[in-house]
Amino acid sequence: MSIDPGQRPRIGISFYASITRARARVLESGRPYLVLESGRPYLVLESDEADVTVSTTGAGPVTSEDLDTAREIFNAAARYLADCERMHADHTQATDTAA
């Protein structure tokens, strides 16, 4: 956590251990008759040390800003996957070559 004079406090969370679970769901509103408007989507990343939850901006409808954030998360996760796959393949190839 960082607190700078004249700034809002900021919390940073870093996972240096494996994320044990990643899931996305819709939090139900408890009003089953509101099929299209019930609940709100959320994303959870969990490890043994911490849980991080990302959700929409409020209890109202999903906004354009919420969509932009979801797309940023999706694109960042795709880049993360591609980097992990590339580095894993490089490591596997180097290990196979050394053997």
Residue 12 lies in a domain: no
Listed range (9-13, 14-18, 29-33, 58-62) with the worst mean pLDDT? 29-33
- Number of domains present in the structure of the chain: 1
Global confidence as pTM: 0.72
Mean pLDDT in the chain?
Answer: 84
Cα distance between residue 38 and residue 86, in whole Å:
40
Convert the pLDDT of each residue in 65-99 to its tens digit: 999 999 999 999 999 999 999 999 999 888 888 76
Residue 72 lies in a domain: yes
Range of the domain at 74: 21-98
CA–CA distances in Å: residue 3 to residues 10, 12, 26, 52, 85: 7, 11, 33, 20, 37
Cα distance between residue 74 and residue 81, in whole Å:
11
SS3 63: coil
Residue 1 lies in a domain: no
Residues 6+ apart with CB under 8 A from 45: 15, 19, 21, 22, 51, 52
**Which of 15, 28, 7, 11 has the alpha carbon at shortest distance from 80?**
15
